[in-house]
């Protein structure tokens, strides 16, 4: 172990960093916003808070701790990093450009404190051992009662406030917003008929500009959401444990036990604390002479120094100052650390494994196979850390967030001899926030629902205190070393043998096998999931410097063409596009009756819409048929209408759309456009028996990680088309190894604003008057299958050109390249219906498979030889591969060579 301590005069700042103005020794603040944060801020003129204007590179938003809480946006150059807040379980790096990362296993903080009201400093640095244990529960804290674990969702406060006359005023209110030592003219609300001081003095109306001071804050009512029951109980006993009440106050409060994690214990700047030994420490007295006087010995943490215990990916451990590290905010999806439980997916095998060490540069890991005890060297690209492998496919998404557990997770312990019921290394999570928690807080400016009930309870307590002088007991807390609460604990370490270190609330530490643990689903996290959902973080935002070039309009010949001015084609009247509910369907054939098909013939027969510019044999013709090339060198029709939709179409089981005359008329125009305007690298197939379905094959563009790889997407048009955008399903052949692109999900979702799967700008959304199927196909090829797909994530585009962006983009490109080589294998082994001949001609007769293998082997050869990058190499999407990338790619190349060899022999 080594201990590093170095000065830091300037740093790139992150949220929660403690900073100080360089020009002022006493101006401390906390960073709330950084330009590289993932956020979407509206224009400044729509906001009243200048703190929320869009940030420029090198700017941060800071809230200062000085009186008044000044908030402003400043250049990083005007600030000095004082301390960096990193929690147990967080990821970190030494520098942005480093490939290796670490996980924080322990945090140690010492702080300087001063009196919360007078500002008089207390000498020396203070550690946690010198502070009283906090016994009040705050919002988000866990509490336990009668074998149940719950979470504080809301509190009702009584704050004691001193006004300039010296009188003390009790202020009851819902939600904690005040702290001891806060001063201001807005502490107390405007005087009302019932605003009395502590001893019955009625406040007068002349309080304008009166600066009040908070002397004490006490939580009198807690609202608790009970999440789950003790898993050590046998099922019969657990069934008898009824859910506790939601409100806790009065003498009942002492029946609760406060359960805190490691990150809740250590002090932070701004915390209010009390000393175990306050002898000689500063204090203040408040109240009028001759009356009751309140003495305050509460202190505020004004500066901290944080030291971290870090476990690096290579297995080494180190103790280091937190400000000598940076948070690792955008980890690679294949990153893992010693002790992590993963699934090894080499070839067709799925085997649980435990990471022993990681070579982040080579992208490899040594793993322990618990079923045999053997140790293997594996590519990180073949390790599933998140539960996306087939092993997890049968597990509902709500039941497990991934594999294993992480440091900082709260877990339940199952009885010895029993398990959590899931196949190792899957770990379920339990805990469901009750419906009442999700009730709207305010209606017509007044509290409603449970908040109204809670406020009434709190007001009644405050009223009785004025006459009865009641005083609530404190919440209890576990006594260290007593062996209590053995059914619950916090994960504090992961061992290389697969066991999990759990620290129980009474500070006892025990080790458990993974299968005896179940994760607690945090209630606040559930509410955040409800608020944001999955779309905001996992969607693609097609903001791109090239996006404006992909606006199309229809010309007088019915052909869509690029329109740099964003013109629209003919107006589409709603009444013309209404689906006709009485369109007859032939029930026997599952297709449309002759009367419906006649509507198409009135515009143009589908078979006549398609131009015969090439001579690709149909599926019913001999496989050995000759494939003469067309004048443009292609051996297929870019667009064709086949007799029947293939049974493997993603939407084949969906009810056919009811085709109105206007639907079919528009579809005929779309077909004509596709016949004339598709690029060589996009193939589209439609079907006579299912006019609502299409299938497209898009070849990966040159000099992208997707070069030469086939991307197959199935499409469905509902009866409201073109007022509704087409629905897409991507055939992902990643074998559970993650997304090949940020916008192409493994479950088939295609995230693109023109498809309505991402909330882009108005002119980026689907428009019946301006959008077309051709535009959707070309957008996927031009805006999704790009040279640097990592930047397709909305939060990452701003990192283009930065060291962080360069490193992460390079790693992502390698993954995309390796995974998309496997797409070639899958397309040839199990070709999708209607594309069999095209794929065989493209990869065998046109020698594209030979090119894929040759290019990949040349890349492997250069990578192994360590050949320096030439200027030409630097312009390549994938100039070199890591050792881990080579391991995975070589497995795929063996399979591709096996597919190619018979064609060499036959030729």
Catalytic residues: 751
Which alpha helices (H) appear in 746-802, and where do they start and end? 773-779
H/E run at residue 856: helix 848-865
562: which 2 tokens?
Answer: 């690029």
Span between the terminal Cα atoms of the chain, in Å:
64
DSSP string, 678-695: --TTEEEEEESS-TTEEE
Cis amide bond preceding 489, omega within 30: no
Spatial contact of 462 and 158, defined as CB atoms under 8 Å apart:
yes
Kindly compute the dihedral angle of the four CA atoms of residues 439, 442, 446, 451, in this order, to the nearest 10 degrees. Answer: 40
Distance CA 219, CA 135 (A): 11
- Crossing angle for the helix pair 594-603 and 661-677, nearest 10 degrees? 50
Number of helices and strands in the chain (H, E): 15, 42
Q: Distance between CA 856 and CA 853 in Å, rounded?
A: 5
Residue in the block written with tokens 């540069």: 361
Q: Find where tokens 């509704």 sit.
A: 724
The bridge status of strand 317-321 relative to strand 410-413 is unpaired
Query: Does an H or E element contain 901, and which?
Result: helix 883-906
Q: How far apart, in whole angstroms, are the C-alpha atoms of residue 785 and residue 755?
A: 16
- Contact between 520 and 149 under an 8 Å Cβ cutoff? The reply is yes
Point out which residues pair with 327 in neighbouring strands.
92
**386 near 393, Cβ under 8 Å?**
no
Who contacts 605 (Cβ-Cβ below 8 Å, separation ≥6)?
none
Beta-carbon contacts of 177 under 8 Å, excluding residues fewer than 6 positions away, are: 157
Residues 6+ apart with CB under 8 A from 226: 148, 149, 150, 243, 244, 246, 434
Which tokens belong to 143?
């509490």
C-beta separation of 466 from 556 below 8 A: no
DSSP 755-769: GTSS---GGGS--TT
Sequence length of the chain is 907
């Amino acid at each position: 172990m080594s201990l590093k301590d170095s000065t830091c005069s300037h740093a790139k700042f992150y949220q929660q960093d403690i900073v100080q103005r360089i020009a002022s020794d006493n101006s401390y603040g906390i960073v709330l916003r950084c330009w590289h944060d993932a956020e979407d801020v509206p224009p400044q003129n729509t906001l009243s808070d200048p703190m929320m204007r869009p940030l420029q590179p090198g700017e941060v938003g800071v809230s200062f701790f000085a009186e008044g809480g000044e908030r402003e946006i400043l250049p990083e150059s005007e600030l000095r990093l004082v301390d960096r807040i990193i929690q147990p379980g967080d990821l970190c790096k030494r520098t942005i450009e480093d490939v290796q990362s670490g996980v924080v296993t322990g945090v140690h903080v010492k702080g300087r404190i001063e009196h919360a009201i007078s500002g008089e400093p207390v000498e020396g640095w203070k550690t946690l051992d010198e502070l009283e244990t906090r016994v009040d529960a705050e919002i988000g804290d866990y509490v336990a009662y009668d074998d149940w674990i719950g979470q504080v969702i809301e509190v009702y406060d009584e704050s004691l406030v001193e006004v300039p006359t010296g009188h003390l005023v009790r202020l009851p209110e819902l939600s904690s917003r005040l702290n001891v030592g806060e001063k201001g003219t807005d502490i107390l609300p405007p005087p009302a008929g019932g605003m009395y001081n502590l001893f019955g003095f009625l406040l007068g109306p002349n309080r304008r500009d009166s600066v009040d001071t908070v002397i004490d804050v006490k939580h009198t009512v807690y609202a608790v959401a009970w999440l789950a029951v003790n898993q050590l109980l046998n099922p019969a006993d657990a069934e008898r444990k009824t859910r506790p009440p939601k409100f806790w106050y009065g003498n009942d409060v002492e029946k609760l036990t406060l359960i805190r994690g490691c990150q809740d214990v250590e002090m932070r700047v701004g915390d209010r604390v009390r000393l175990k030994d306050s002898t000689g420490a500063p204090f203040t007295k408040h109240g009028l002479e001759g009356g009751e006087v309140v003495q305050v010995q509460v202190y505020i943490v004004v500066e901290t120094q944080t030291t971290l215990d870090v476990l690096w990916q290579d297995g080494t451990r180190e103790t280091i100052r937190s400000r000598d590290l940076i948070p690792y905010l955008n980890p690679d999806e294949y990153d893992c650390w010693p002790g992590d439980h993963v699934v090894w997916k080499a070839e067709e095998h799925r085997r649980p494994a435990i990471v022993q060490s990681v070579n982040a540069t080579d992208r490899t890991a040594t793993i322990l196979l618990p079923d045999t005890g053997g140790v293997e060297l594996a590519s990180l690209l073949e390790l599933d850390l998140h539960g996306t492998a087939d092993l997890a496919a049968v597990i509902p998404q709500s039941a497990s967030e991934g594999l294993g557990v992480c440091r900082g997770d709260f877990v339940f312990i199952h009885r010895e001899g029993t398990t959590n019921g899931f196949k190792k290394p899957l770990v379920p999570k339990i805990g469901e926030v009750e419906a009442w928690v999700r009730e709207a807080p305010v209606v017509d400016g007044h509290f409603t629902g449970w908040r109204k009930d809670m406020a009434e309870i709190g007001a009644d307590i405050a009223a009785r205190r004025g006459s009865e002088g009641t005083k609530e007991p404190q919440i209890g807390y576990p006594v260290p070393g007593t062996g209590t609460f053995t059914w619950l604990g916090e994960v504090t370490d992961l061992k290389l043998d697969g066991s999990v270190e759990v620290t129980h609330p009474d500070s006892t530490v025990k080790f458990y096998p993974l299968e005896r643990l179940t994760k607690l689903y945090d209630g606040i996290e559930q509410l955040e999931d409800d608020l944001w959902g999955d779309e905001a973080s996992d969607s693609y935002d097609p903001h791109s410097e090239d996006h404006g070039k992909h606006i199309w309009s229809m010309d007088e010949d019915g052909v869509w063409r690029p329109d740099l001015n964003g013109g629209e084609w003919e107006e589409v009247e709603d009444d013309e596009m209404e689906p006709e509910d009485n369109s007859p369907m032939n029930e026997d054939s599952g297709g449309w009756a002759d009367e419906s098909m006649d509507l198409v013939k009135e515009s143009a027969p589908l078979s006549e819409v398609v131009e015969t510019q090439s001579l690709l044999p149909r599926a019913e013709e001999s496989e050995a048929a000759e494939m003469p090339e067309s004048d443009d060198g292609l051996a297929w029709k870019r667009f064709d209408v086949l007799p029947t939709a293939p049974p493997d179409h993603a939407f084949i089981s969906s009810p056919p759309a009811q085709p109105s005359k206007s639907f079919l008329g528009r579809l005929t125009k779309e077909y004509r456009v596709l016949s004339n305007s598709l690029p060589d690298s996009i193939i589209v197939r439609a079907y006579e028996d299912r006019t609502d379905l299409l299938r497209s094959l898009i070849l990966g563009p040159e000099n992208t990680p997707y070069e030469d790889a086939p991307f197959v997407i199935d499409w469905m048009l509902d009866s409201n088309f073109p007022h509704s955008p087409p629905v897409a399903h991507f055939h992902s052949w990643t074998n559970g190894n993650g997304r090949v692109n940020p916008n192409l999900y493994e479950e088939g979702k295609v995230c693109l604003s023109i498809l309505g799967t991402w909330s882009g700008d108005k002119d980026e959304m689907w428009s019946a008057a301006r959008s077309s199927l051709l535009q959707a196909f070309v957008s996927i090829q031009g805006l999704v299958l790009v040279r640097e797909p990592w930047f397709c994530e909305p939060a990452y585009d701003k990192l283009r050109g930065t060291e962080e962006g360069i490193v992460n983009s390079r790693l992502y490109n390698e993954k995309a390249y390796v995974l998309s080589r496997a797409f070639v294998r899958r397309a040839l082994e199990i070709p999708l219906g209607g594309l069999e001949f095209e794929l065989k001609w493209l990869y065998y007769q046109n020698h594209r498979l030979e090119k894929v293998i040759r290019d990949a082997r040349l890349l492997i050869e250069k990578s192994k030889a360590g050949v320096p990058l030439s200027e030409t190499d630097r312009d390549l999407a994938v100039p070199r591969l890591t050792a881990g990338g080579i391991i995975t790619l070589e497995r795929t190349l063996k399979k591709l060579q096996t597919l190619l060899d018979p064609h060499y022999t036959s030729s």
